[in-house]
Structure 1
Amino acid sequence: MKRTTRLACALSLMLAASAAGAQEKLSLRLDYSIYGTHAPLYYGVDKGLYKAEGIDLRIGEGSGSSNTAKLVAQNIDPIGFMDYGTMLKGVAAGMPLKAIFAVHQRSPMVIISHADAPVRSPKELEGKVLGMSASESTAQMFPVLAALNGVDQKKINVIAPAVGTKTALFLQRRADAITGVTYFHIPPLEAQGAKVHYFSYADFGVNALEGGLAANTQWLAANPETARRFVRATRKAYEAAQADPAASVDALVRQRPEQARNRELLLRQLQLSLQASGTPNTKGLPFGVSSEKDWQAMVDQFVQSNQIERPIPIGTLYTNDYNGD
């Protein structure tokens, strides 16, 4: 009996070791330093959602969607969180990228100005100082906003703040306005007592999916099951965030304790982020599924605003194939 018990224990240990050994390492590059939208990814790690799918997910911070797109295109990181406008331009230039899980489907991009000197429309930016860095997703989409609203970009004085200094630039009133996204820029400005006015790109005609996860197409072709397992775990993580945003942020803090001091800011960012997670065309569909109509509208606007020379076949830009179960 003792021998049988010992054999059973040994077998259990072997199976556990085998399961641990089966964990496939996968690296994911964020679009920027950590902010609230990323919390569900850390929740997935913290709660073992990726581990349950046989994935050892390693999350690395980024320095702008343009850089993340390059890293994913080079397969340094097979998957990245990025702005889809940046991705679309990359695909037009030959980058092997494809969207696999759309997080922000209604553009949360905004122009933020001072409440006591508000900029109320894109046209009012002419003659003003605008803080905007070329590598940011908002800068990638700004020409579309300008073209749709008859804005002469040459009449805007654009200054490019260093990474992480845009909020300070605004608070010091060195810029009349800055580009931003609701979930990333509004909460820290609110936390510092700033009185702001803002309008969204979407309110002035920019119908573009803002961002989410994209993958290297060669990696996708070689690893379809890994991609499917990754998306399944990611969908569960974001659905959990919808149900309990605070739990996602707490999981992020457990994984990255240095973020504890930012907990309330991260929570506010995540709450705002989730408000942009769908469009009328994706109502009732699983989190992360995007619509062909939305992608087509985005491509049409990029062509009309001369951001790309010719239309791109929609099927080369995105797939919902990995988000089906």
Structure 2
Amino acid sequence: MTPHNPSRPSRPSGSSRPSGSSRPSGSSRLTRAALAAGAGVLVLSACGSDDGAGDDGRDAVTLQLNWYPYGEHAAFYYGVEEGIFEDHGISLSIEAGQGSARVVQAVGQRDFDFGWADTPALLANVDQGVDVRSVGVFLQSTPSAVQFFSETGITEPEDLKGRTIAVSAGDAVTLTFPLYLDAVGLSEDDVVQQNLDSAGKNAAMMVGRVDGLIGFAHDQGPKLADESGKEVSYLRYTDAGLNFFSNGLLAHSSTIADDPDLVERMVAATSEAFLAAQDAPEDAVAAMAGKDPQMPGENVLLQQWQETIPLLTTENTEGQAPGTTDEDDWRSTIEVLAEAGLINEAKPTDAYFDGSFTPEGR
């Protein structure tokens, strides 16, 4: 893709913008294989590497999401609607995904220019030789949590003893569950873990076959509450002092090397879009209307986005532009994931992250 530096067009009148100890080795092998799976899977759209400048002079750019659109993704749709990506010389096409591991693989194959994926999946795939790097993490506090209906009577970690919790073998939230249990003074033997896929977990909790599930609180929780009409409660990993990075932008190493200007503009536009969506949450969610038939209703999308906002920073990045990361947080993430067995060893940060594109301050 040819580097492109368009002058930024003025915004249309009437438009507004806010100011600027290790796990067992067998488990480790299973973990890395699961998170790196997907190389041979058909992606939803393969249209990235041969896109060039469009007729309007902007770069045609493809982005694959980690899943079908949900509230966390509102900022991207809002950024397109508000012209934020256009202002940065980008004509953005957003495609649904089918899991973070597949997104990382698709970007590694140059099927998409950029991907939006969970940091543990990124690190596991880089460990397996996929030539991608993170260029900015936006969800910097993990949404990982034990989720359950409030009527179960679970109110604190101790109440998990003897309970059946749905998990999904190989995903990051399940593989770090033993670390959570240890942090709250429990052992793996204290909890019955039932292995199910994502949809199976939700269904099992809905009909009472399990007492709760492991997952992302900002995504599954609002959907479960809406579908069941029941209140959902959480035991969050972060409340036990366990944190690691979640979703962010990634690109192929060749894109970073050959077109750093494009990467810089994409990171800047994404940061600006996330900031704008925080200031106008209802408008941001409204921008998603009609974009995908598998999206939940607007009320669920709004709750999902509102639950996303507190995840965008850590104590080290509070008050900084969305997507700005701190080296101490990167080291903590890498070390936690190495301890959980998701990666072979705690390599230097630059093995996974290119910090050349830090967004400008607010």
Question: Under a length normalisation based on structure 2, what TM-score does the superposition of the two structures give?
Answer: 0.76
More helix by share: 1
Q: Quote how far apart the aligned CAs of 1:224 are.
A: 0.6
**Cα distance in 1, alignment partners of residues 65 and 330 from structure 2:** 22
Q: Which residue identity lines up with residue 27 of structure 1 in the other structure? A: T
SS in 2 for 1:275: helix
TM-superposed CA distance for 1:217, in Å, is 1.9
Does 2:275 correspond to 1:239? Answer: yes
The answer on whether the counterparts of 1:119 and 1:177 sit within 8 Å (CA) in structure 2 is no
Assess, with a 3 A threshold, how the Cα gap between structure 1 residues 281 and 175 changes in structure 2: closer, same or farther: same
% of aligned pairs identical?
26
RMSD: 2.6
Unmatched runs of 5 consecutive residues or more in structure 2: 1-52
Partners of 1:231 and 1:281 in 2: how far apart?
20
- Matched to 2:243, the amino acid is N
* Paired position in structure 2 for 1:3: none
The whole-number CA distance in structure 2 between the counterparts of 1:150 and 1:258 is 41
Question: Any stretches of 5+ residues in structure 1 without a counterpart?
Answer: 1-17
> Aligned residue for 1:201?
237
Q: How does 1:190-269 map to 2 (within 5 A)?
A: 190-191=225-226, 192-253=228-289, 256=291, 258=293, 262-269=297-304
Please state how far the C-alpha of 1:187 moved relative to its aligned partner: 1.3
The alpha-carbon distance between structure 1 residues 234 and 307, as it changes in their structure 2 partners (threshold 3 A), is: closer
Q: Is the 8 A contact 1:29 1:80 kept in 2?
A: yes
After superposition, the Cα gap between the structure-2 partners of 1:156 and 1:91, relative to the gap in structure 1 and judged at 3 Å, is farther
Question: Which whole-Å deviations, capped at 9, do the CAs of 1:270-304 have from their partners, x for residues lacking one?
Answer: 01100111011112221110110001111222233
Q: CA deviation at 1:147?
A: 5.8
* Aligned counterpart for 1:100 among listed residues 120, 128, 135: 135
Distance 2:167 2:230 in 1: 19
Q: How much does 1:155 deviate?
A: 6.2
Structure-2 change in CA distance of 1:27 and 1:150 (3 Å) = same
The AA in structure 2 aligned to 1:151 is: S
Give 3-state SS (helix, strand or coil) of 1:280's partner.
coil
Pairing 1:297–2:323 present: no
TM-aligned CA deviation for residue 226 of structure 1: 0.7
Contact 1:122–1:145 under 8 Å retained in 2: no
**CA distance in structure 1 between the partners assigned to 2:170 and 2:297 by the alignment:** 25
Contact 2:164-2:191 at 8 Å conserved across structures: no
Show the 5 A alignment for 1:1-325: 20-119=55-154, 127-134=162-169, 136-146=171-181, 148=183, 151-152=187-188, 156-161=192-197, 163-191=198-226, 192-253=228-289, 256=291, 258=293, 262-325=297-360
Task: Give the deviation of 1:36 after TM superposition.
Answer: 0.5
CA distance in structure 2 between the aligned counterparts of 1:257 and 1:302, rounded to whole angstroms: 33
4+ long deviations beyond 4 Å: 118-127, 146-150, 257-261
Is the contact between residue 107 and residue 209 of structure 1 (CA under 8 Å) also seen in structure 2?
Answer: yes
The alpha-carbon deviation at position 85 of structure 1 amounts to 1.6
User: Cα gap change, 1:48/1:196 in structure 2, threshold over 3 Å: closer, same or farther?
Assistant: closer
Range with bigger deviation, 22-31 or 93-102: 93-102
Larger radius of gyration: 1
